[in-house]
Amino acid sequence: MTGLTERIQAIDGFVWQPFAMPLVLLLVGGALSVMTGGVQIRRFPLAVRMVLRSIRGKSSGDGTITQFQALSTALASTVGNGNIGGVATAILIGGPGAIFWMWVCAAVGMATKYAEAVLGVHHRVRRETGELASGPMYYITGGIPHALTGKTLAMMFALFGACGALLGTGNMAQSNTIARTFVEAARTVGGLEVPMWVPGLLITASVGLVLLGGIQRIAAVAERIVPAMLVLYLVSAIAYLLLNIDQVPDALTLILSHAFSPSAAVGGFAGASMAQAIAAGVSRGVLSNEAGLGTAPIAHGIAKVSHPVDQGLIGIFEVFTDTIVVCSLTAFVILTSGLWTDPTFQNASGDLTAAALSTTIPGASLIVAVCSFLFGFSTLIGWCYYGEKCVEFLFGSGIITVYRMAFTALIMVGSMVSVPLVWALGTLLNGFMAFPNLVGMLFLARAVKRLTNQYFTAKAETA
């Protein structure tokens, strides 16, 4: 197993070196930012108003689920254990500077997610089952004039998307972090040594029951669980930081000072180069907010909206919430605790976050275990839907039940796999999935610009 882990880590390191996927993600996000006139900044207040409007149930137009259900399903997939365990592994691999590059990834990622949601709605199709379907496989084939190029890129995305959902950050990485935080909580709060398979079995059974109901049940569950889990985690993290407010400036200094220089070895931390900081920050940023990955438009694309830009604005808010808010809070909790240099946690993920909160808030590991369960549960149900839409594109609707069974079985496997293996495999598959989506979006950038200008011109005329 050690040899397999090292080989996967080597390939993952090559894919996520600064001049490979991180550069592509930043260039595509930057290009979309320019072509949309900085929509993620100029139109952010409108994005917030659109979210509030969707919460009040004011969705209009054709679609399968409401705007808020689409946002909740997308957030259910993005606000997962990448926010708890992924941030921890980013710091342990790339040092504090990785968080700066995570922020950069989010800044351009908001424009990328906006474009993905716009294209998802614009090119959605109705399958033979009567259900709407959306995602990169449809906007690539529907939007790229050269049929062979579009078909090739779409099939690449669907294949890697299906594999990523089964083996990557949307499945095994989630159950792995849930199991580890559960075991940490049992040890620190109850003094019990619980085997990893116990929480693994619990999350496997819970997810399996929800998946039987398809997208309608997934969206309904996400709509209820996402706001609750966000409030619980945010309140806990903010309370911790308020109690340690004097250490927050030092943590910010660490992030900024190590963003462009190596992180020296200290305590159990082995040190990290600037390249490692960029790779860890961008790869974990994409893992968390999924901007450029191509998954979120599968949910956003079937929302009830009257114009694609309506859902694009919702996508901007999604990335902001996930990375700028939730991931940043996790990072500050870990850095202010000082435990990121403790040799005990050098192969940790969510258990580092749990231990960090527990340094100030008694019993916080139990709170993190609950949040990890809710975050992971919501991500698992969202990613299973993404994966089944990918296999549906490749093989038709008849294979969906088999896919759900395989997905559910691998949740259990993931709970017992080593941390380095599961995270390296997850980020590697993310890179393979993102590449055809990003290439397709470059072809379709002008369409995003046209739809954006059309929407805001009409809005100005009616103002």
pLDDT tens, residue by residue, 144-177: 999 999 999 999 999 999 998 988 878 888 888 8
Its domain, for residue 310, covers 41-462
pLDDT higher than 70, residue 216: no
Distances in Å between the Cα of 430 and the Cα atoms of 164, 243, 326, 357, 457 are 7, 37, 21, 29, 36
Residues 6+ apart with CB under 8 A from 421: 1, 4, 5, 8
34 belongs to a structural domain: no
Main-chain dihedrals φ then ψ at residue 62, nearest 5 degrees: -80, 155
Average pLDDT over residues 432-444: 94
31 belongs to a structural domain: no
Top-confidence residue, 424 or 461: 424
The pLDDT tens digits for 13-27 are 888 888 888 889 989
Total domains present in the chain: 1
240 belongs to a structural domain: yes
pLDDT higher than 70, residue 60: no
Predicted pLDDT at 17: 85
Predicted pLDDT at 128: 81
Residues 6+ apart with CB under 8 A from 363: 189
Average pLDDT over residues 60-80: 78
Predicted pLDDT at 221: 72
Average pLDDT over residues 182-207: 86
pLDDT higher than 70, residue 434: yes
Top-confidence residue, 298 or 63: 298
Top-confidence residue, 66 or 439: 439
207 belongs to a structural domain: yes
Which of 208-222, 328-342, 346-360, 410-424 bottoms out in mean pLDDT, i.e. has the lowest?
Answer: 208-222
Average pLDDT over residues 2-9: 83
21 belongs to a structural domain: no
pLDDT higher than 90, residue 257: yes
pLDDT higher than 60, residue 463: no
Main-chain dihedrals φ then ψ at residue 170, nearest 5 degrees: -85, 0
pLDDT band with cut points at 50, 70 and 90 for residue 179: confident
Predicted pLDDT at 108: 94
pLDDT higher than 60, residue 256: yes
The pLDDT tens digits for 276-335 are 898 888 888 887 888 999 999 999 999 999 999 999 999 999 999 999 999 999 999 999
Predicted pLDDT at 62: 77
Is there a contact between 34 and 111 (Cβ–Cβ < 8 Å)? no
CATH of residue 389's domain is 1.20.1740.10
pLDDT band with cut points at 50, 70 and 90 for residue 227: confident
Average pLDDT over residues 337-353: 87
Predicted pLDDT at 268: 81
pLDDT band with cut points at 50, 70 and 90 for residue 2: confident
pLDDT band with cut points at 50, 70 and 90 for residue 67: confident
Predicted pLDDT at 372: 78
Predicted pLDDT at 225: 79
Average pLDDT over residues 393-416: 90
156 belongs to a structural domain: yes
Average pLDDT over residues 71-94: 82
349 belongs to a structural domain: yes
Residues 6+ apart with CB under 8 A from 116: 136, 291, 292, 294, 296, 297, 300, 315, 437, 441
32 belongs to a structural domain: no
